[in-house]
Amino acid sequence: MKSKPFLFYPVVLFLFIFVIDKIFLLPIFHDEFLQAGNSVFYFQRKVLKDRLLKDPDLKGKKLTLVFGDSRSYPFSEIGIPEPYKKNWTLYNFSSPQGIPMNSYIQFQEILESGVTPDFVILSLSPEAFDDSKGFILSPFLRMGCDSNCIETVWEDVPFKEKWDYLLDRVFAIRSIEFNLSLFTSRLKQGKLKEYKSSHNKEFQLINYTKGEYLMYGVQSNPIEKIKNDTIRIGNLYMRSYSIGSSQFPYVEKILKITKEKKIKTLVLWPKVFPEYYSYYEKFHIKEVWWDKVETLAKKYDANTLNWNTPNTCDLFNDASHQSAFCFVDQMKEIWINTAEK
């Protein structure tokens, strides 16, 4: 071996990379390291929780909490209809590709902090229940789950996600999903300060109000554009579909809490573009998923609402997100029939 030192080169290279990788374990990369999209939202939701706990309006107003994924971004306090608006405040904790595990952890942390809502809107999408889509690892485990959270959900995390998570512990750069092109761009433009929330315009936009993100779906796009997006999204999320076992327990945990604490609860299935809904029909989503959700909701005295029916708003931002314009009438319906009933 001494005569062939080149045989050690791969080992030396691996050790060098392994040591350099440990730089990404530094707190600077985990406490507040805002890249784009998911990392900005998941950090803002932590800031939003702190704002909620300090809100003086909680003493005089009823509180609504919204949990879900990007399809429920438009739920906003400004959409609460008159004359109810003066009596309510609303915080929207919907997160990108938010799964029920994430909603449960958020909800539990808020309750443990001493705040109990009067009304909970739990928005669910069938894609989140397909464990093969990888939403558990990214973004949830990587961006929305601390050590206490890991202890809570670990036994329900599928093996593949566990293995990938353990690899994240070995190679730390995986866990922060480091975007090299974004780093290069910010470096060239002298904008490295954008990794901090105080200089990040995307964070400031999201953080302006109480969690809603109206800009995401404020417009209604042409049908042809949405049809093209349907093909893209369908191939991405619905080429195959199978319901996993990881998420239903957390829907049930949320509903069990709301029943015990007598919190009015609405379990909602947001509407998607009809041609995208045809993918749901292909896999019998209503029968194999939504019917089970309704059964759980009924067991715990929660209300349900399926917007994927005729005569509901048909304006869309893209194939899987309604236009925010739809939420004006939809929130009025929710407040009259559920929140204030």
307-328 mean pLDDT: 90
**More confident position, 98 or 27:** 98
> Which range has the worst mean pLDDT, 14-23, 102-111, 236-245, 276-285?
14-23
Q: Which residues are paired to 89 by β-bridges?
A: 63
pLDDT at 6 over 90: no
Assess contact for 308 and 272: CB atoms under 8 A. Answer: yes
- How far is the C-alpha of 72 from the C-alpha of 65, rounded, in Å? 12
Assess contact for 271 and 319: CB atoms under 8 A. Answer: no
What is the per-residue pLDDT for 285?
Answer: 96
The ranges assigned to domains in the chain are: 24-339
> Which range has the worst mean pLDDT, 19-23, 158-162, 170-174?
19-23
Candidates 306, 289, 308; CA nearest to 251 is 289
**More confident position, 292 or 219:** 292
pLDDT digits (tens, 9 = 90+) for 48-78: 999 999 999 898 999 999 999 999 999 999 9
Instruction: Name the band, by pLDDT with cuts 50, 70 and 90, for residue 335.
Output: very high
Instruction: Return the CATH fold of 24-339.
Output: Rossmann fold (3.40.50)
Per DSSP, which regions of the chain are E strands? Answer: 62-67, 88-92, 119-123, 264-269, 303-306, 316-318, 321-322
| Three-state DSSP state, 123 | strand
Candidates 23, 99, 91, 104; CA nearest to 68 is 99
**More confident position, 202 or 224:** 202
What is the per-residue pLDDT for 26?
Answer: 67
What is the per-residue pLDDT for 12?
Answer: 55
Assess contact for 52 and 102: CB atoms under 8 A. Answer: no
Instruction: Name the band, by pLDDT with cuts 50, 70 and 90, for residue 21.
Output: low
Phi, psi of 149 (to 5 degrees): -65, -45
131-155 mean pLDDT: 93
Assess contact for 104 and 253: CB atoms under 8 A. Answer: yes
pLDDT at 13 over 70: no
Average confidence score pLDDT of the chain: 89
pLDDT digits (tens, 9 = 90+) for 233-267: 888 889 899 999 999 999 999 999 999 999 999 99
pLDDT digits (tens, 9 = 90+) for 206-215: 898 899 987 6
pLDDT at 16 over 90: no
pLDDT at 17 over 70: no
What is the per-residue pLDDT for 19?
Answer: 61
Assess contact for 54 and 28: CB atoms under 8 A. Answer: no
